[in-house]
Amino acid sequence: MNGDGMVKLKYNINGTKISEPGTERVESKLPATTRRGKLLKAKVLSRVFSEDFERVKKKILDPRGPVIRRWNKIFLVACLVSLFVDPLFFYLPVVKKDVCIDIGIPLEVILTMVRSLADAFYIVQIFIRFRTAYVAPPSRVFGRGELVIDSGKIASRYLKKSFWIDLLAALPLPQVLIWIIIPNLNGSTMMNTKNMLRFIIIFQYLPRLFLIFPLSSQIVNATGVVTETAWAGAAYNLMLYMLASHVLGACWYLLSIERQEACWKTACDLEEPYCQYKYFDCNKVKDPGRLTWFNSSNITSLCSPSSSSYPFGIYGDGLEFNVTTAPFFNKYFYCLWWGLRNLSSLGQNLSTSTYAGEIIFAIIIATLGLVLFALLIGNMQTYLQSTTVRLEEWRIKRTDTEQWMRHRQLPPELRQSIRKYDQYKWLATRGVDEEALLEGLPLDLRRDIKRHLCLDLVRRVPLFDQMDERMLDAICERLKPALCTEGTYLVREGDPVNEMLFIIRGHLDSYTTNGGRTGFFNSCRIGPGDFCGEELLTWALDPRPSVVLPSSTRTVKAISEVEAFALRAEDLKFVAAQFRRLHSKQLRHKFRFYSHQWRTWAACFVQAAWRRFKKRKEAAKLRAMEDLMVAEPEPEPTKPVSGLAIYAAKLAASTRRGINMHSESDTGVVSPLQKPAEPDFSVDEE
């Protein structure tokens, strides 16, 4: 505030102030309370909810957004590739037939290129971590919390936590080592390569391996699982186990070369002063002194694995099968097999020597194999069981049902019906409780799912085709799936009707005897698009409905496997209110046309009317014949009267009396079959 009035201060979403002309002088005169308010405003603006993150997404990334989720999966694959590539550097030393060790240049070039490509992903990860927001710890009390979008706070938090591990994992140490450092060192190139390569690879392999676990946790926190399917999860765990075998095989290969070189040095000590350690470097093969020593030396026989002059221990297989001198793919697959075999057997087949380093390596193999094998079996069992959990639950339920039926001594026909229903329900739902699954979803999402599943099927019901989309959505939301096997009675004549069924697939037989009336039987077939239980709709449309449910006028039996949707009595109350809103004659006539109860009554009514018409027609014909006979003149006395004419006159008189008697009771032909109750489609007066 100043003497002229109020001063407005504007800030960006990240807390920076928007300068306006003429406000610099006024801002310096602001009191301390206003400056504290400014600091509080900047503090508030450094946080944002996820739904408001769109304003700053060009600068800062949402840790729960789709970009980070997709990048985490890509970076996880890059980490696994780098973990696979790093042990391949142990295969660079190669033993030649001239009793020397050399470096494989083609493999060195390929590994450098692949490793440099993998290092680029680690560098990108560091850049992304500097631009990724994090959830403020005090805001985790309720909901997902607020995101801190201040780049300074993000950088400070990242530098204090995991920046140095990411930086160590991203450094191209093996490339610098084999191309820059080792060629400039004095002494044996091979000895420097083996020692420094082993140290650098293991030193950088540990932080790269460590990054796998928090990265997997981030993926699980964001999406719930690392892999989408159970088979992919099982393959992921198996790949990690194979990766451990790959690492052990590479280490065993490098240690085998070192043990072979140690044997050469032991034999060289026996041939001093003619032998020197530098002769084991292939760069010295053309040296005249080495040629003289090699031609007179017995080193190949002394360091042969078949001789017992030197204890090779667990590395004897590498020398016996010439693994150290084999081409790359041959020695790689053999080393992979060696690592997998000993990791799976927990190192039980290893026969070590008395060297401490060799014994420690065997102990690591046994311990690591025990832990990884237990994790592999446990995770594989969990993932594979999740694919058959529904099948196993159904099998257990079926076993319980069989035991219960045997215990209660149910007849074979009833047992077969129960088995048939269980089998049909499994084929239709695969053991998933759809209603329980939908109950855990929000109302709007549940309505959309019901609309997707039921809308097209409901439109096939002629009774519903006059309704608008909103009314159809309300009906779909209340429909319940129903399954029936062949021979099942859905409802019997005289039983209370508690649901109205709309047939989707299958056929049913609907018949009635009109309450057991002798000689009366009416039957019809119900198929897809039809409905049964219309007595319940009449009951629900009654403005003053009774508590007692109506009785069924027909018996409905499934003649094939039936899939339908059911409307319960309480749900039908809502639907009936929607029907009353339509109150059209077209809907009234459509209900009468598709109602089998009305169809039966109409057929009987038409049949009775046709019988009345036929009888009236016969009576009129006989009356005309009688009048014609009466109008004829009396025959002459001399001529005898024909007996046929006398019989015809008597028959006509008796028929006329019978017609007159029956015509009085024509209206009672359909009296035993009562007219169905008329549904009240009209709107309430209120």
Proportion of the chain above pLDDT 90, given as a percent: 4
Residue 333 has pLDDT above 90, yes or no: yes
Residue 235's pLDDT is: 79
Mean pLDDT of all residues in 626-654: 58
Residue 686's pLDDT is: 37
434-602: in CATH 2.60.120.10: yes
Residue 31 has pLDDT above 60, yes or no: no
- Which of 22, 240, 77, 50 has its CA nearest to residue 146? 50
Question: C-alpha dihedral over 380, 383, 384, 386, to 10 degrees?
Answer: 150
Mean pLDDT of all residues in 21-26: 46
Its pTM stands at 0.59
Task: Please spell the DSSP secondary structure of 541-555, one letter per residue.
Answer: H-SS--SSPPBPSSE
Rounded distance, CA 20 to CA 18, Å? 7
Over the chain, what is the mean pLDDT? Answer: 75
Q: What are phi and psi of 526, to 5 degrees?
A: -110, 135
519/279: higher pLDDT:
279
Residue found by looking up tokens 């309505």 in the block: 447
Mean pLDDT of all residues in 204-217: 83
Assigned token pair, 671: 């009296």
Structural domain boundaries of the chain? 41-226, 228-409, 434-602
3-state SS class at 94: strand
Q: What is the pLDDT of residues 458-501, one digit of tens each?
A: 777 666 766 777 777 777 888 887 888 888 888 888 888 888 88
Confidence class of residue 225 from pLDDT cuts 50, 70 and 90?
low
Mean pLDDT of all residues in 19-26: 48
Q: What is the pLDDT of residues 392-429, one digit of tens each?
A: 777 888 888 888 888 888 888 888 888 888 877 777 77
Rounded distance, CA 276 to CA 293, Å? 9
261/12: higher pLDDT:
261
Q: What is the pLDDT of residues 499-540, one digit of tens each?
A: 888 888 888 888 887 765 656 677 788 888 777 887 777 777
Report yes or no: 549 and 569 within 8 Å, Cβ to Cβ. yes
Pairing between strand 508-512 and 480-484? unpaired
